[in-house]
Amino acid sequence: MKQWAARLRAALNVSVALVAGATLMIAPPARADEISVTQWGASLYGLPYSVAMSQGLFKKAGVDITGILSSNGGGTTVRNILASPTPYGEVAVSAALAAARQGMDLEIVNVGTRSVAEASLVTMPDSPVKSVADLVGKKVAITSPKGVSEMLLLMVLKEKGIDASKVTRVASGGYVNGLTLLEQHAVDAAVLIEPLSIVRKNKYRTVYHAGDILQPMTTSVGITTRAFAKAHPNTLRAIIAGRDAGVQSTYSNPTAAAALLATDFKLPPPLAKEAVDNMVKSHMWSEGDFDRAELDRMVAGLQLIGEVNGPVDWKKLVDTQFLPANLQAKSKL
C-alpha cells in the first residue's frame, strides 16, 4: 500500500497523458519491444495497454512487449519515445504540439483518450462553496501554472460565464499538496483527479466533475517519427490495432480490466473497480479515430493558458493511414 501511495503521489503531481504498445498485424515471429508510458503504474490512461499485454493481444499481432518505461510526461516522454528503438508513444496533446513546434520529426497517428471525466474540484464538507459561481472571490489550488489542471479550471469557468480574473489560482505543486492547502484553509477549493479523488472521497465535498460540464476533447494522442512510419508501416499499424483491441476488451469486460488494474497498478480492488467504471461510463479511451471537434476543444483550452496561439493545422500533423480501415472511415478531419 505504501508503494502504491508513493507512486500515486508522484503521478498525480503532473498533468495527464500516456503512451502505447506495439504489434504486427500479419503474424511473423513476435519481436520484443519496450514502450514508454507516462506515469505507468499509477495513471488510468494506460489501462488498455495493460489489458492488451495480459491477454496476449500484442503478441498475437506479432510484437512481444517486454517492458514499460515510465517518465514524468511532457517533453521528457516525447524525447524518450523518439529516441527509442520502437518510437511510438501516447502523449498529452500539449506535449505533441510543443514538440512539433520545436521541429521534432513526429506525426500523430491515433487518438488515445477523449475525456476529462477523471478531473474534479473539491472543497471541505462545511465550505460555503456549493457551485462554480461561488468560486468568485475565492482561492483555488491548481497544480502548476499553464498545466492541465489550470486549463480545465479556466475552461469550466468560461463555460459557466465566470470571469477567471475573479478567481485566484494558487500553484500548489501537486494534487496532494493542493489538498493540504485546502485542509489548512489556505485555499477554498482544490483541483483533484482520479483515483486520488476516490481514495479521499469521504474527506471532501465535490463541487463539480469536469466531465459533467465540458464536452469530450482529445486529451492524448499516439505519436511516432515520420522515418519510423515510412520504414515500418505494418508494425505501426499493429501497434495501433493492438491498443484498439485492448480498448475494446476494457469496455466489453470492465470487471476483468479492474481486477488487472488492481494487480498491476497496486490499487485496492474496490477503488480500481470504481475508477474503471467511472472511465467506462465517460468513454474515456478512444479506439483511435480522430474527431476534429474534440481536437479543437483541447486547442481552445491550451489557448486559454497560452500554450497555443491560433488554430492548429491538423492535416499537417495527423496521418490516419495506420488506423484500421473502420477507424479511418470514422475519423473526421
State pTM to two decimals. 0.84
Binned at pLDDT 50, 70 and 90, residue 91 comes out as confident
In a 10 Å sphere around its CB, with 0-12 CB exposed, 13-18 middle and 19+ buried, how is residue 46 labelled?
buried
Assigned architecture for domain 2-115+217-330: 3-Layer(aba) Sandwich (3.40)
User: What pLDDT, on the 0 to 100 scale, is given for residue 185?
Assistant: 97
User: What pLDDT, on the 0 to 100 scale, is given for residue 39?
Assistant: 60
User: What pLDDT, on the 0 to 100 scale, is given for residue 81?
Assistant: 85
DSSP 183-233: HTTSSSEEEEETTHHHHTTTTSEEEEEHHHHSPP---EEEEE-HHHHHH-H
Mean pLDDT of the chain: 87
In terms of pLDDT, which residue wins out, 187 or 76?
187
| Whether residue 15 has pLDDT greater than 90 | no
- What letter does residue 54 receive in the DSSP assignment? H
User: What pLDDT, on the 0 to 100 scale, is given for residue 25?
Assistant: 36
| Whether residue 199 has pLDDT greater than 50 | yes
User: What pLDDT, on the 0 to 100 scale, is given for residue 86?
Assistant: 86
Q: What is the average pLDDT across 142-158?
A: 94
User: What pLDDT, on the 0 to 100 scale, is given for residue 138?
Assistant: 98
**Peptide bond just before 270 cis, omega within 30 deg:** no
Question: Hey, where are the domains in the chain?
Answer: 2-115+217-330, 119-213
User: What pLDDT, on the 0 to 100 scale, is given for residue 250?
Assistant: 98
**Phi, psi (deg, nearest 5) at residue 239:** -55, -50
pLDDT per residue over 253-288, tens digit each? 999 999 999 988 788 999 999 999 999 999 999 999
| Whether residue 198 has pLDDT greater than 60 | yes
Find cell 519496450 and name the residue: 34
User: What pLDDT, on the 0 to 100 scale, is given for residue 1?
Assistant: 44
Binned at pLDDT 50, 70 and 90, residue 246 comes out as very high
User: What pLDDT, on the 0 to 100 scale, is given for residue 41?
Assistant: 63
Binned at pLDDT 50, 70 and 90, residue 16 comes out as very low
Cβ contacts of 222 within 8 Å, gap of 6 or more? 20, 88, 89, 90, 108, 109, 110, 111, 112, 239, 240, 243, 288
Binned at pLDDT 50, 70 and 90, residue 104 comes out as very high
User: What pLDDT, on the 0 to 100 scale, is given for residue 71?
Assistant: 61
| Whether residue 139 has pLDDT greater than 90 | yes
Binned at pLDDT 50, 70 and 90, residue 97 comes out as very high
| Whether residue 73 has pLDDT greater than 70 | no
pLDDT per residue over 24-54, tens digit each? 333 444 456 777 666 666 578 888 989 998 9
User: What pLDDT, on the 0 to 100 scale, is given for residue 13?
Assistant: 42
Q: What is the average pLDDT across 117-140?
A: 97
Which range (66-80, 223-237, 280-294) has the least confidence?
A: 66-80
Position 109, amino acid: V
Position 309, amino acid: N
Question: Are domains 2-115+217-330 and 119-213 of this chain identical in fold?
Answer: yes
195-230 exposure pattern, b = at least 16 Cβ within 10 A, e = fewer? bbbbbebeebeebbbbbebbebbbbbbbbbbeebbe
Q: What is d(CA 29, CA 257) in angstroms, rounded to the nearest whole number?
A: 27
pLDDT per residue over 214-229, tens digit each? 999 999 999 999 999 9
Topology at the third CATH level for domain 119-213: D-Maltodextrin-Binding Protein; domain 2 (3.40.190)
Q: What is the average pLDDT across 187-200?
A: 92
